[in-house]
Structure 1
Amino acid sequence: MTRRDAKLRALERHIARLDRRISRLRYRSHLLSYARLLVFVAGVFVTFVAFAVNLNAGWLTLVGSIAVFSGVVYYHRHLERWITRFTIWHDLKVAHFARMTLDWAHLPMALSMPAETDHPFEIDLDLTDEFSLHHLLDTAVAYEGSTRLRDWLLHPLEDHSAIMERQALVRELTPLVTFRDKLSLSARLAARRANRRWRAESVRAWLDKPSNLTGLRPILIVLAGLSAVNITLFILNAAGILPAYWLATFLIYLAVSGTRARDFGTLFADATALQETLRQIQTVFSHLETYHYGQNTRLRALCAPFLGADRPSNQLRRVARIVSAASLQANPFLWGFLNAAIPWDLSFTYLLGRYRQTLSQQLPNWLERWFELEALCALANFADLHPHYTFPQIEPPDAPFVWHSEGLGHPLIPAEQKVCNDFDIAQVGAVALITGSNMAGKSSFLRTVGVNLILAYTGAPVNATRLQVSLLRVYTSIKVSDSLADGFSYFYAEVRRLKALLAALEAAHPIPLFFLIDEIFRGTNNRERLTGSQAYIRALVGKHGVGIISTHDLELVKLADDQPMIRNYHFEDHVVDGRMTFDYRLRTGPSTTTNALQIMQLEGLPVGEH
């Protein structure tokens, strides 16, 4: 049994256990629903009978019935919370299984953002949107965590030490399955309350909101003094000792309060909007605070802001208490009485403003660490679910150029269909020219190489048994398309793309360019395509870069005769029992066969004499 198969079976067993537990809990919850009704009806009946017998017995029975009913309700709600937690845990494990088997239907919805049409490789390598590498990797619950991972894929690191540091963090996180899943569970509970992917925009908007505390403290002191005088005079008046002098001081109190009414006019709206958001992130931060990090020194360093003396959960609990007090505006009678007696709203407006100043310095850092951790956990989860993948060896900038790969495969191709290949590039300035028939695997191989390079420079494991590579920038020309909106034909769009690629190759940059070009100049006639392709490939050879070009033009393989830095490779096909078959194995040397006419003939199209 392979390590992948063992992982799949372990997940299947875990999912089955969770299914059984959830079923038992739901059955118990179903029984409790009837028990609540029974306890309520019985309590009403017994209380009615007790009041008919004796008043004191009636009151005791009423209190007892309410206590029993409240206990049953509390336990039922507690049970429902456990059902929610186990259901989320179950969904997490199902998603893990789906990531291993590429079952896209059981993955969470992909982050939808428009692709950058001029990006060097985003569209060509299927990095974003549905059924993409980002969709496969993305376990982040926070919107900002998901976009952080997306940004890492679209803008790989170019600093060797930064890559190795991130890779070390991902290695450290990989075996910490419970830590990652509990972090995701806490975040999903938050997102479940919000009924969407969690976003920090409401918190940031609150932090960025202007706070006018200038002069508020003296006013608050004056109002507190007036409040004390009012209460004293009111008590003395009620006792018949003094006339109603408190009416005069009360009017002064109201006048002074009115001068700062604008400061607490939106207090209730701000407080209620913020309260639930703080509750949500508090569960996430509590997990990071209480986790035992042990020997995981890099993870501990990343989470250091959560481990200080004044921990986030303590700060957020203080804010939550202030918010709860401020939210009394929802009860107009109690709110009116308190504000008439003491400067209630103004006091909590001041306290909330003070804490906002404190949190504006700390909360952004806590959120950034959480988002960073979510992106890292996505890469670590990818490594954990694919134990047969390996972490690449990235060579430092001062080391000789190297590109050596063994067992290179594409992570978005199902394991049952995947064929892995070895591939090497000898030196900077070299070009690999791949020929082969339609559907033989040329384009897929280009994407395989590109995707694994992006994973390597992101700090993730690669779909290979070994990958040793120098630092490279990536630029591709694979999925070129015309643009009706811009009035570009297919050929003109391809020319523009290849021009941008050549400019990137010739730009002064310390890191060589790695380029991938599929079917060069396919948008024009055969004669001009051949002439243009020969000239363009010659322009690439010997420059500050390396790359792979796939083509149907067998005439191009002759370029290797007078260009020693060009090396030919090919994929083969065979016709077996009237069907085209491919083994998707990369072989050295040029292709000796074509299959376009064979495919046409097999599909019943006329092909003429050949």
Structure 2
Amino acid sequence: MPVASSDFRPLSVAPAELFSENLAAHTAQEQHYAGRHRVVAWVRLAAFGVSIAAVWWLFSRGQLPAAFGVVALAYVVFLLLVRWHNAVGYQREHYRLLAQLNQEELARLEGKLNGFDPGLRYLDPAHPYSADLDVFGPHSLYQLLNRATSRLGHDWLAGWLLAGAEPAVIELRQQAVAELAPDVAWQQEWQARAKHFPKQDADPRTFTEWLRQPDFFQGKGWLTLLMVVLPPVAVGCVVLWFLGYSGLLALGAVLVLGALNSVFRVARAEYFSHSSSMRDALRAYRDQLAWFEAPTWTSAHLRQLHATLHASAEHQPASVLIGQLSRITGLFSARESPLIAIILNNLLLWDLWCMWQLERWKKRLGGQLDAMLEVGAELEALVSLAGFQAANPTYAVPELSATPLEVTAVGLGHPLIFARQRISNDFSTRGAGHTGVITGSNMSGKSTFLRTVGLNMVLAQAGAVVCAQQLRLAPARVYTAMRTQDNLAESTSSFYAELKRLRLLLELTATGQPVFYLLDEILKGTNSLDRHRGPRP
């Protein structure tokens, strides 16, 4: 039950001040709804007590029709109170999550990144630059940027950081982020809606690939007929048993249904496994896409994503269709309670009915699910970039250059250094075949400067703002050789590891694509004379 976003000011104040104000306001709202939640709990308890007392009083006086009427009324009232209680509980949790999001933004501003996902699963020592530039790992760029919640959203953002986009794509992302960034309340509402559902680690691509497998019910019309006929018969036999008739009929019906469940136990378990793994992710995308579908967007890329959802959904909002699927996958959760599962399956063939409902949904729209989930994941990545831009309003939107290998920066700083007086530098290079040499004493910041240039290029080519007053660059492949290490398992010395790294650089440049390379203390694993000879043509 999503709630409307709070009407906080866009970024007309300093980010730290805005996040602090939001934190205080959301915490106050959380406490307000926590109080209401307790009150509703007492109302539920009082209603239950009054109902029990009324039913007992009527039964003791022999007024059975009135007693049964009170029971029916009490049941309806109980359901309404439960729904009210859950709604208030959702709002309490929602404001807690919004407060948590602002607390996290304050932590990022202070450079306290330890509590965020380091993205180690994306760290590849053989990648051209990610290990050297701290793109992933402890105190990394990924921790600073990532505001996604789903496995697919994480993958999209990581993909943008691992490979620069084409100039046209970068510009589309910049425009989309520019539209999203000023509305911090919209971004945080988007994030909070998904955080209600924490179990989103499963890969949706596995689920959608599984959905493309042949239907279980294909060629089993007889089973569908049995599912229609047998459950009412079984329930009727059980009712007759309760009314005093022979229990043999009930036992026979339950045994027949139990045999069917046993025959198809493998398929039932498979459907349950796939559905339960995706339940939270589907609920999160349902609520997030409903939030995205509501506004009218102006940037070309956001309008394109909106149109993709509309085309995939066939005249129904994509959030509604994903909501239908999430409800079907939620029906399988009855298996999580063994007693309830036994009763439902041996009387109603519950799992088989859930499987049938899932296949009905698949026949209607299953082929479009991939596109809808990919749109949601890309929006998660865009919201991550927008949150980074909103938290750093002084950062520059990079300008793309047509001059090969141009990097012209004013006030360039390292985005992972959070000191109040961050040291910034100007830098300029353009044209193929140009090499700059950075010299200085030990601990003077040479390596940090190289990483500053490389990391801001990664940000720029992902579509994000950069830690600079101005940056103009031509998109190029970034390549680094900074942290080469030995590998005893492969009998590789650090010097040989660096040689292999440099060989990869030469092979990459031989392809003809522009490569911007950053080498730190080249051939440092050998003597000074060979180090001077090595870089010569």
In which range does the TM-score fall when normalised by the shorter chain?
A: 0.7 to 0.9
Shift of the alpha carbon at 1:8? 0.8
Post-superposition Cα deviations, 1:314-373, rounded to whole Å, max 9, x if no partner, equal 43455567668888995666765667xxxx987875554343244431111111111111
Aligned runs of 1:51-62 on 2, under 5 Å? 51-52=59-60, 55=63
2:486 alignment partner in structure 1? 482
How big is the shift at 1:388? 0.4
> What corresponds to 1:6 in structure 2?
14
Q: 1:363 aligns with which of 357, 365, 369?
A: 369
Secondary structure (helix, strand or coil) at the match of 1:113 reads helix
After TM superposition, give the deviation of residue 465 of structure 1 in Å: 0.6
How far the C-alpha of 1:310 sits from its partner, in A, is: 3.1
What's the offset of the Cα at 1:291? 1.7
Matched, 1:173 2:171: no
CA distance in 1, matches of 2:141, 2:334: 48
- Please tell me whether the aligned partners of residues 47 and 65 of structure 1 are also in contact (alpha carbons under 8 angstroms): no
Deviation at 1:467, TM superposition (A): 0.7
CA 352–54 in structure 1, closer or farther in 2 if over 3 Å, else same: closer
Tell me which residue corresponds to 2:520.
Answer: 518
Aligned residue pair count: 499
1:351-402, CA deviations, whole angstroms, 9 ceiling, x for partnerless residues?
Answer: 5434324443111111111111111211121111110001111113xx4663
Q: Distance in 1 between matches of 2:454 and 2:508?
A: 16
TM-score by length of 2: 0.80
Q: Which moved more, 1:477-486 or 1:167-176?
A: 167-176
8 Å CA contact retained: 2:285, 2:322: no
Which of 296, 299, 302 pairs up with 1:299?
A: 302
Determine whether 1:535 maps to 2:533: yes
Verify the 8 A CA contact 1:278 1:316 in the aligned structure 2. Answer: no
Q: 1:178 to 1:276 in 2, by over 3 A?
A: farther
Amino acid at match of 1:355: W
Contact residue 282 and residue 313 of structure 1 kept, 8 A: no
Question: Hey, what does 1:77 align to over in structure 2?
Answer: 86
Q: Counterparts in 2 of 1:185-264, with a 5 A limit?
A: 185-191=192-198, 194=199, 197=201, 199-200=203-204, 203-204=207-208, 206-211=210-215, 214-217=218-221, 219=222
CA positional deviation for 1:151: 1.7
- Asked if residue 419 in structure 1 is aligned to residue 427 in structure 2, the reply is no
Distance in 2 separating the partners of 1:331 and 1:426: 68
Separation (CA, whole Å) in 1 of partners of 2:526 and 2:394:
43
Q: For 1:164-563, list aligned pairs within 5 A.
A: 164-191=171-198, 194=199, 197=201, 199-200=203-204, 203-204=207-208, 206-211=210-215, 214-217=218-221, 219=222, 266-267=267-268, 270=271, 274=275, 277-278=278-279, 280-289=281-290, 290-307=293-310, 308=313, 309-316=315-322, 318-319=324-325, 352-396=358-402, 399=403, 402-505=406-509, 507-511=510-514, 513-525=515-527, 529=528, 531-539=529-537
What is the alpha-carbon distance in structure 1 between the residues aligned to residue 283 and residue 297 of structure 2? 23
SS of residue in 2 equivalent to 1:474: strand
The structure with the largest alpha-carbon Rg is 1
Q: Percent of counterpart pairs with the same letter?
A: 28
CA distance in 2, matches of 1:222, 1:499: 67
CA contact (8 A) 2:24 2:99 kept: no
Indicate if the aligned counterparts of 1:293 and 1:299 stay in contact, CA closer than 8 A: no
Alpha-carbon distance in structure 2 between the residues aligned to 1:147 and 1:354: 30
Q: Structure 2 vs 1, CA of residues 216 and 5 (structure 1 numbering), >3 Å: closer, same or farther?
A: same
Question: Which of residues 109, 117, 126 is equivalent to 1:109?
Answer: 117
Q: Which structure's residues are more often strand, by fraction? A: 1
Give how far 1:457 is off. Answer: 1.2
Residues 77 and 205 (structure 1 numbering): CA distance in 2 closer, same or farther, change over 3 Å?
A: same
**Structure 2: how far apart are the matches of 1:281 and 1:164?**
30
Which structure 1 segments of 5+ residues have no match?
A: 235-246, 540-610
Residue in 2 that maps onto 1:99:
108
1:58 to partner: Cα distance: 5.3
Q: Rate the CA distance shift 1:291–1:405 in 2: closer, same or farther, 3 A.
A: same
Distance (whole Å) between structure 2 residues aligned to residue 331 and residue 208 of structure 1: 27
Do the aligned residues in 2 keep the contact of 1:100 with 1:385 (CA within 8 Å)?
yes
1:64-109 CA distance string (max 9 Å, x none): 665665555443332222111111111111112222221124x433
Quote the offset at 1:146 in angstroms.
0.8
8 A Cα contact 1:268 1:326, kept in partner? no
Quickly say closer, same or farther: Cα 1:5–1:124, change in 2 above 3 A.
farther
C-alpha displacement of 1:222: 7.8
Residues 67 and 363 (structure 1), Cα distance of their counterparts in 2 relative to 1, 3 Å cut:
closer
Give, in whole Å, the separation in 2 of the partners of 1:216 and 1:36. Answer: 46
Give the residue type in structure 1 aligned to 2:321: Q
Write the deviation string for residues 102-136 of structure 1: whole angstroms up to 9, x where unpaired: 1124x433323163222211111011122111111
Code of the residue aligned with 1:534 in structure 2: it is H
On the 8 A contact 1:220/1:346 being kept in 2, the answer is no
Distance 1:432 1:209, change over 3 A: same
Which deviates further from its counterpart, 437-446 or 421-430? 421-430
TM-score normalised according to structure 1 size: 0.71
Assess if the C-alpha contact under 8 Å between 2:389 and 2:465 holds in 1.
yes
Q: Is the 8 A contact 2:286 2:322 kept in 1?
A: no
- CA distance in 2: counterparts of 1:213 and 1:63, whole angstroms: 38
Q: Offset at 1:413?
A: 0.1
For 2:119 and 2:181, locate their aligned partners in 1 and report how far apart those are by CA, in whole Å: 23
Amino acid of the structure 1 residue aligned with 2:414: H
Question: Is the alpha carbon distance of 1:214 and 1:450 closer, same or farther for their aligned partners in structure 2, counting shifts above 3 Å?
Answer: same
**In the alignment, is the contact (CA less than 8 A) between 1:475 and 1:516 conserved in 2?**
yes
Distance in 2 separating the partners of 1:515 and 1:322: 51
Structure 1 contact 271–324 (Cα < 8 Å) conserved: no
**1:137 CA displacement:** 0.7
Change (3 A) 1:164 1:214: same
Amino acid at match of 1:81: Y
Output the CA distance in 1 between the equivalents of 2:459 and 2:40.
50
Identify the residue that residue 89 of structure 1 maps to in structure 2.
98
User: Shift of the alpha carbon at 1:23?
Assistant: 2.4
Change (3 A) 1:75 1:501: same
Q: Take 2:181 and 2:205, find their aligned partners in 1: how far apart are those partners?
A: 30
What's the Cα RMSD here? 3.9
Q: CA deviation at 1:282?
A: 4.2
Q: Which amino acid aligns with 2:110?
A: T
| CA displacement at 1:221 relative to structure 2 | 8.9
In 2, the alpha carbon distance for the partners of 1:361 and 1:117 equals: 37
Distance (whole Å) between structure 1 residues aligned to residue 465 and residue 496 of structure 2: 37
Which of 3, 14, 28 is residue 20 of structure 1 equivalent to? 28
SS at match of 2:484: coil
Pair 1:431–1:533, CA change in 2 (3 A): farther
Shift of the 270–495 alpha-carbon distance from structure 1 to 2, 3 Å rule, reads closer
Give distance in 2, aligned partners of 1:179 and 1:367.
Answer: 20
The structure-2 alpha-carbon separation of the partners of 1:423 and 1:24, relative to structure 1 and needing over 3 Å to count, comes to same
Identify if the C-alpha distance between structure 1 residues 263 and 74 changes in structure 2 by more than 3 Å, giving closer, same or farther.
closer
Structure 1 residues 221 and 372, CA, compared in 2 at 3 Å: closer, same or farther?
Answer: closer
Query: What's the counterpart of residue 583 of structure 1?
Result: none
